[in-house]
Amino acid sequence: MLVTILSFAVVAGVIITIHELGHFCAARITGMRVKKFSIGFPPKMFTKKVGETEYSLSWIPLGGYVQIAGMVDESLDPEGVTGAPNEFNQKNFFQKVFVLSAGVMMNYLTAFLIVIGLTLVMGVPEIGTSQIGEVIEGRPAQQSGLLSGDKIVEVNGETVATWEDVIRTISAAEDTLYLTIVRDEARVAFVVPTMEITEGDSTRRVIGIGPAIDFRPAGLGDAVAQSASFCYTTTVGLVGFIGDMVTGKGSLEQLSGPVGVAKLSGDSARQGPGAFIFFIAFVSVSIGFLNILPFPVLDGGHILFVVIEAVIRRPVPIKAKLVVQQIGIIALVLLVLIVSYNDVVRIIAN
C-alpha cells in the first residue's frame, strides 16, 4: 500500500507540475499576469507570494491550476476581468492558444524525452521468441504453475515459435489450453484454463502471461524514432478509445480514474525503475491528450471559446462562460466519482 501511495504521488506530482509549468511559462512569455500557481487542489499545504503570483502546494493531488488575470477559468472569478493590457482577454488569438495548449505540449515533450532517455539507456525492446517474461498474479497461468522464463513450444498440439503465434492460438482457444513448455531443458505439459476479457467490442481468451523482452543497443536516431512512434501510437490508441466511447462501442467501465492510476503506479514501481519511468511517460501523453479535448474546464474547452470568439469577432459573455464552466465542473466531478467507483470494484474483484 505504501509503495502504491508514494508512486502515485510521484506520478501525479511530476505530471501536474510539468503541465502547469507549461501554462505558467507561456503566460509569462506572452506578458500575461499570473495570479496563482497551484500544484494540487485546496486545502493548501504551503503558500508563498512572490511578486504578483501566489504559489501554492495543496493536499489533494488530483490536478493543479494556473490562474491568469483576465481569464474566466475553473476559479469562476468574473471580477478578474478588468481590461488591463497584461490580462488574458487582451492578448491576440495566437498568444491565447499558445498559453492554453502549452501544458499539453509540455506533457508530450516530457514523454518524448523520457522515452528517448530510456531507449538510450536500455535499448530498443524486441519481442521475438515464445518465452514467457511475465506471469500475472491470480490469473490462470500463475495458478497452473507457469513461470517466467518458460518457453512455450506447443499450444493445443500446434507448434509455436513467436509470441504472435502464442497470442493467436490462445485467443482462438476454448475453455482449456494444453501447453507444452521447455523449462531447464526439459519439456513439461500443462493444462491451463482460459478466461475471457473484453476490450471495446471484442472479446478474447487470455491466461495471464506476457512476453520476454530483449533489448538491442540503440543510438540517438533509434531513440528518437522509438519515442516518436510511442507518442504517435499512444495518441492513436486514445483517439480510437474516445471514438468507441462516442459511438457506444466502449463504456465507462473501461476508464481508469485516480484510484486505477494509483494501482497501476504501484504495479509499475514494483516492476522496476524502467517500467515506472515508462509509466510516467504513458500517463503524461494520456493526460496531455485528454486535456486538449474540447470539454469545459479542460484546456481544449478554453481553446474552443477562443476559436468561437475569433469566428464571431466578439467576446463570449462572461455569464455564459461561467455557466458552461460550472456545468463542466459538475460533469467532471461526476465522471471522476463514477470511474473511481469502477476502479474500486475492479480492484476488489481481482
- Which of 39, 106, 107, 62 lies closest to 281 in space, CA to CA? 107
Burial 101-127 (b: 16+ CB within 10 A, else e): bbbbebbbebbbebbbebbbebbebee
Element (H, E) at 158: strand 158-159
Helices 220-247 and 273-291 pack at an angle, to 10 degrees, of 50
Are 201 and 244 spatial neighbours (Cβ–Cβ below 8 Å)? yes
Grid cell locating 140: 490462470
Catalytic site includes residue 20: yes
What separation in angstroms does the CA of 103 have from each of 27, 72, 183, 324? 11, 17, 49, 21
Contact call for residues 108 and 284 (beta carbons, < 8 A): yes
- Catalytic residue set: 20
